Amino acid sequence: MIDVIIFGNGNVATQLAKAFLKADDVQLLQVYSRSKPTNFFIKNNINTTNDIKKVKNAAIYIIAISDDAIAAFSKKLNFKNKLVVHTSGSKPITELNCDAHKGIFYPLQSISKNKKISFKNIPICLEAENTKDYLLLEKLAFSISNKVYAINSEQRKRLHVAAVFVNNFTNHLYKIGKDICDTHQVDFDILKPLIVETAKKITQLTPLEAQTGPAVRGDKKTIENHLQLLDEKQQEIYTLITESIIESKRLKTED
Amino acid sequence: MIDVIIFGNGNVATQLAKAFLKADDVQLLQVYSRSKPTNFFIKNNINTTNDIKKVKNAAIYIIAISDDAIAAFSKKLNFKNKLVVHTSGSKPITELNCDAHKGIFYPLQSISKNKKISFKNIPICLEAENTKDYLLLEKLAFSISNKVYAINSEQRKRLHVAAVFVNNFTNHLYKIGKDICDTHQVDFDILKPLIVETAKKITQLTPLEAQTGPAVRGDKKTIENHLQLLDEKQQEIYTLITESIIESKRLKTED
């Protein structure tokens, strides 16, 4: 049985707590939160505290608070010889400013508090200072997910920026697609099967292999026609990504 | 029973033929192809011809050839009082240069010849010159898909460019994500669940509601840090899309 304490009251803290409650071999001993605990914690009779001095003894302490608060918060902790981890994708392990064993427990997913999610398919990226701690984190991670990866702080920084491209920026392209539809009374629903198919395709092909469209075909006429249908900002984005696709194809051909 | 003849031997022609063979109330009378018919047509004993004079009588003739060949090819057809349609997303109905009733039968999906696809969820966008023809096309479309839309040529042009954003450009963002991973020995598989989740999310939320990340949070520090990790082209794309997300948020707040 791994005893776990979570610091935090937000989306990641709540979703992790839900997952740990269902897991075998994990006991969620306590949740620390400065603010009033959410209904979920109350309903499930989870021991909560807002007093750092009343935090119990556990094997792993998980700091699941906003990225910029981690450094200052971790300074308050005094868990010598215990394992303290944070859940941030963008902060290094050195962000933990306490006298404890340090590690990272980073679930890579866009997590909302109230959306039902299954952790089973959410990749969890782990880092620790020594093998013993890593193995303990690994056991905890496998108790809620099938996808566990060893990722160091340098790699995690890159993973985080890559996630911005494939998640945040992709979503903005959906938004532009919807804008174009809306201005011409076209139902955006028509595009949704294509959007889902495009995402699923790269589970079978590399993105380079999966690339289709006028840019990769070198179809200048269609590109010209498309540009005439767009507003200035859309044109800029269209042009830049088209150039980038053409460049990627050139590099591929040279290989 | 609707008698149908397909012109073409490519991805769309093949997938449409497969779907019609399975449909009730549709008979695929013949496939016309200049080149040798693919194995699929031979295996399924579909009547094929490469002689335009031997094309049979049918209710609907579907031109499923490359966009730029439609105008010249349709000139050769002589099907007065018959319905001739093309399957292109980017060409208007006027691209059909023949003395016949004209229409559009445009399946909006990225279609590969050998990938198994189910037409059931692929939106089919229809256009016709009169109601009778429209109703006939609608019947044909519903025989293979549950998602049928009336879309005129102006709207279809916009839909096509919107599809470039949500499909071709999105795929290129996946490619950039993979490049970032590859240069730091990070397994791109870690990002795949996030990619699929991002696509599925907009079936429940609008893209504007679904937007997350440093740009929409106004998190300048993270944006700065990210830019330092990217090469020049990646930086350009990161900056332009970040600006566009910030602008979208500003317009939303003003609403």
pLDDT confidence of residue A240 = 98
pLDDT confidence of residue A115 = 67
CA B101 to chain centre: 24
Largest distance between two CA atoms of chain A: 69
Contact check, Cβ <8 Å, B159/A181: yes
- Pick A223 or A116 by higher pLDDT: A223
Lowest mean pLDDT among A38-42, A80-84, B48-52: A38-42
Which of B149, B161, B211 to mutate against chain A (most A CBs within 10 Å)?
B161
Which residues in chain B have their CB less than 8 angstroms from residue A181's CB? 158-159, 162
Q: Both tokens of residue A75? A: 């300074």
- For chain A, the structural domain boundaries read 2-151, 156-254
pLDDT confidence of residue B111 = 66
Confidence bin at A144 (pLDDT 50/70/90): very high
pLDDT confidence of residue A109 = 85
Nearest in space to B33 (alpha carbons), one of B4, B57, B55: B55
The average pLDDT across A212-236 equals: 95
- What value does the mean pLDDT of chain A take? 94
On the question of pLDDT at A238 being above 70, the answer is: yes
Nearest in space to B29 (alpha carbons), one of B56, B53, B52: B56
To 10 degrees, what angle do helices A192-201 and B192-201 make? 180
pLDDT confidence of residue A111 = 66
Strands A101-107 and A124-128: antiparallel
pLDDT confidence of residue A112 = 63
pLDDT confidence of residue A191 = 97
Other Cβ atoms closer than 10 A to B179? 19
Which of B91, B170, B176, B238 to mutate against chain A (most A CBs within 10 Å)?
B170
Q: Both tokens of residue B85? A: 């349609």
Sequence-ordered list of residues with C-beta below 8 angstroms from that of A89, at least 6 positions apart, any chain:
A106, A108, A125, A156, A159, A160, A163
**Cα distance from A238 to chain B (closest Cα, Å)?**
8
Domain B2-151 sits in CATH at: 3.40.50.720
Which residues in chain B have their CB less than 8 angstroms from residue A173's CB? 165-166, 169-170, 173
A229 touches chain B (CB under 8 A): yes
B156-254: what fold? N-(1-d-carboxylethyl)-l-norvaline Dehydrogenase; domain 2 (1.10.1040)
Helix-then-strand count for chain A, H and E? 11, 8
**Cα distance from A106 to chain B (closest Cα, Å)?**
12
On whether the CB atoms of residues A175 and B208 are closer than 8 A, the answer is: yes
Q: The whole model's pTM is what?
A: 0.91
Which residues in chain B have their CB less than 8 angstroms from residue A208's CB? 175, 178
On the question of pLDDT at A110 being above 80, the answer is: no
Q: What is the pLDDT of residues A157-166, one digit of tens each?
A: 999 999 999 9
Which residues in chain A have their CB less than 8 angstroms from residue B178's CB? 162, 206-208
On whether the CB atoms of residues A89 and A106 are closer than 8 A, the answer is: yes
Task: Name the residue in chain A with its Cα closest to that of B122.
Answer: A193
Q: pLDDT tens, position by position, for chain B (255 residues)?
A: 999 999 999 889 999 999 999 999 999 999 999 888 888 888 889 999 999 999 999 999 999 999 999 999 999 998 888 999 999 998 999 999 999 999 999 999 876 656 677 889 999 999 999 999 999 999 999 999 999 999 999 999 999 999 999 999 999 999 999 999 999 999 999 999 999 999 999 999 999 999 999 999 999 999 999 999 999 999 999 999 999 999 999 998 887
Which residues in chain A have their CB less than 8 angstroms from residue B202's CB? 171, 174, 192, 195
Which residues in chain A have their CB less than 8 angstroms from residue B163's CB? 177, 191, 194
A222 touches chain B (CB under 8 A): yes
pLDDT confidence of residue B39 = 84
Which residues in chain B have their CB less than 8 angstroms from residue A240's CB? 236-237, 240
Strand ordering across the sheet containing A83-86 = A48-49, A26-32, A2-7, A60-63, A83-86, A101-107, A124-128, A148-150
pLDDT confidence of residue A113 = 59
B10 touches chain A (CB under 8 A): no
Q: What is the pLDDT of residues A48-68, one digit of tens each?
A: 999 999 999 999 999 999 999
Partner residue facing B110 (CB), from A197, A230, A248: A197
Which of A166, A185, A224, A229 to mutate against chain B (most B CBs within 10 Å)?
A166
Whole-angstrom distance, CA of residue B100 vs CA of residue B129: 10
Planar angle of CA B193, B198, B200, nearest 5 degrees: 95
Contact check, Cβ <8 Å, A171/B248: no
pLDDT confidence of residue B215 = 96
Alpha-carbon dihedral B219, B222, B226, B232, rounded to 10 degrees: 50
Contact check, Cβ <8 Å, A213/B122: no
